[in-house]
Amino acid sequence: MEFGDDLDLVCTERYGSRRMQGYVEDPDGRLRCVEERVDGSYRSLRDFFTSVFLPQGYPESVSDDYLTYQIWDTIQAFASSVTGTLATQAMLRGVGVGDETATVTAATLTWILKDGTGMLGRIFFAWMKGSKLDCDAKKWRLFADVLNDLAIFMEILAPAFPTCFTIVVCIAGLCKCIVGVAGGATRAALTMHQARRDNMADVSAKDGSQETLVNLAGLLVSLLLIPLVTDNLQLVYFLFFVFTSLHLYANFRAVRGIVMDTLNQSRLAILVQHFLRDGWVLTPSAANPEEPLFPVFQRRLTVNLGAPLHMLVTRKSDLEKAQEGNMKNYLLTWNRSSEAVCVAMHEVAGSLDMIQACVHVEILNVLLHKDVGQYRMQASTLRTLQKRASEVPHHRVWETVMETHQLVDQIFPEFLKGLIASGWVTDRHLLDFDEWRADWHLLGKKSE
């Protein structure tokens, strides 16, 4: 940014990182504002669109991945708008628009059944998966878009099966309502991630403006396409395939471009395994591309975090064994036969305690399901523990758990330092803990 060389500036100021201006003293002593030398028409147009469609203070007010995500999100929204129009046309044809034999009552009943099924599905899905959406926002965001495309495909095919039309559109409506829950919830989670100045409302509002503009563009394109696709099913299917492919690719790129700096179980697993292998913690920008976005069918422990005590112990002696050699604010048990781990949290446990408990789970998973020969951190200890874990009888599982506690005590302090140094957030997390909290020190308190 440059000002005229002949100007004697008294002071300068800037508006975010996009605009700079200075002040000079006029002969009468008044201060006069002068702006940097930029093509005026271009800047005024740029500033107008920036103020309308981007959050105030952009780019400092949002996360570094904001622009990448929004570009791909815009592309996917445009593609979804076009395929949605194709589905709407198919739905209207299916309920009898243009058919003299169709009745208003039949069309109304079909629409009511479709909406009613979707409402019930929305409630059920929110009940079953509502707490999971924050923890794996990327996966659920991608899941929502894939399910949305499936619902649109069903709506387009529905008129071809008139006897099953109502059932098909009800299933499609159910899918779309699930999409509404998953997409809306994950959008809120991503907005929270992008808003760096507690400006969630502004980021969300500008995202809505961008989506409205894109939908308007999709509407204009749809107006051109509708006359072409009417009574031409081959063209409808071709356009659906093209725009759905674009939609899915853009969604994948958008989600892959997100760089979350809060820990969930997938990202923590990547960090722990890399730390054990190489001795240092990956940064958020290095770890996020390795996070799986689709279901990974590999052998892992079944984990129950924040479990009630009765899932861990059934006898007082078991509770005493769980506490033996463990001064942490969590208890951990491992069921060898069911390959399940349960973690109970103390009522005073905080964020770091929960992160440590999940690190413990990941180390146990490494011992049971990984080749520890590739790890150099505590290599001899890992090999010894892996051998014992594979041979330990059921009645001596507590001894193995106690030894893993000792291993965690050695590893976690250095791992935590690496987390903080690499830029990870540790005062909050996205680990999937239930709400059960216990106090297992009551016997000690009574004896005092």
pLDDT score of 1: 46
Tens digits of residue pLDDT in 253-262: 999 999 999 9
CB neighbour list of residue 447: distance below 8 Å, 6 or more residues apart: none
pLDDT score of 314: 86
Percent of the chain scoring above 90 in pLDDT: 43
Q: Residue 131's CB: how many other CB atoms inside 10 A? A: 13
Mean pLDDT across the stretch 93-115?
68
Mean pLDDT across the stretch 197-218?
91
The backbone region for 308, taken as left when phi is positive above 0, alpha when psi lies in -120 to 50, beta otherwise, is beta
Which range has the worst mean pLDDT, 299-303, 305-309, 328-332?
Answer: 299-303
pLDDT score of 291: 93
User: Is 90 exceeded by the pLDDT of residue 75?
Assistant: yes
Q: Where do runs of H (alpha helix) occur along 161-232?
A: 165-194, 200-229
Q: Considering Cα of 111, then 113, then 114, then 118, what sign does the dihedral take?
A: positive
Q: How confident is the model at residue 35 (pLDDT cuts 50, 70, 90)?
A: confident
Q: How confident is the model at residue 228 (pLDDT cuts 50, 70, 90)?
A: confident
Q: How far is CA 119 from CA 170, 185, 358, in A?
A: 11, 16, 36
User: Is 90 exceeded by the pLDDT of residue 251?
Assistant: yes
Residue type, 171: I
Burial environment of residue 28 by CB neighbours within 10 A (0 to 12, 13 to 18, 19 or more):
exposed
Q: How confident is the model at residue 249 (pLDDT cuts 50, 70, 90)?
A: very high
Which range has the worst mean pLDDT, 210-214, 385-389, 434-438?
Answer: 385-389
Tell me how far the alpha carbon of residue 54 is from its chain's centroid.
21
pLDDT score of 352: 96
Q: Which among 277, 274, 303 is positioned nearest to 291, based on CA atoms?
A: 274
CB neighbour list of residue 322: distance below 8 Å, 6 or more residues apart: 312, 313, 331, 332, 333, 398, 401, 440
391 vs 374, which has greater pLDDT? 374
User: Is 90 exceeded by the pLDDT of residue 233?
Assistant: no
Q: Delineate the domains of the chain, giving CATH numbers in brackets.
A: 9-53 (no CATH), 66-256 (1.20.1250.20), 265-447 (no CATH)
User: Is 90 exceeded by the pLDDT of residue 241?
Assistant: yes
Mean pLDDT across the stretch 178-192?
90
Mean pLDDT across the stretch 391-416?
85
59 vs 273, which has greater pLDDT? 273
pLDDT score of 39: 52
Model pTM greater than 0.95?
no
Tens digits of residue pLDDT in 110-160: 778 888 888 898 899 888 888 788 889 999 999 999 999 999 999 898 888
390 vs 168, which has greater pLDDT? 168
Which range has the worst mean pLDDT, 36-45, 161-170, 358-367?
Answer: 36-45
Tens digits of residue pLDDT in 324-383: 777 899 999 988 778 889 999 999 999 999 999 999 999 999 988 888 888 888 888 888
Which range has the worst mean pLDDT, 297-306, 347-356, 408-417?
Answer: 297-306
Q: Where do runs of H (alpha helix) occur along 291-396?
A: 316-323, 351-369, 379-391
3-state secondary structure of 163: helix
User: Is 90 exceeded by the pLDDT of residue 46?
Assistant: no
User: Is 70 exceeded by the pLDDT of residue 16?
Assistant: no
12 vs 427, which has greater pLDDT? 427
Q: Which among 296, 341, 295, 339 is positioned nearest to 322, based on CA atoms?
A: 341
- Give the Cα separation of 339 and 268 in Å (integer): 20
DSSP string of 92-131, one letter each residue: HHHTTTT-TT--HHHHHHHHHHHHHHHHHHHHHHHHHHTT
Q: Which residue has the tokens 């099953």?
A: 164
pLDDT score of 444: 54
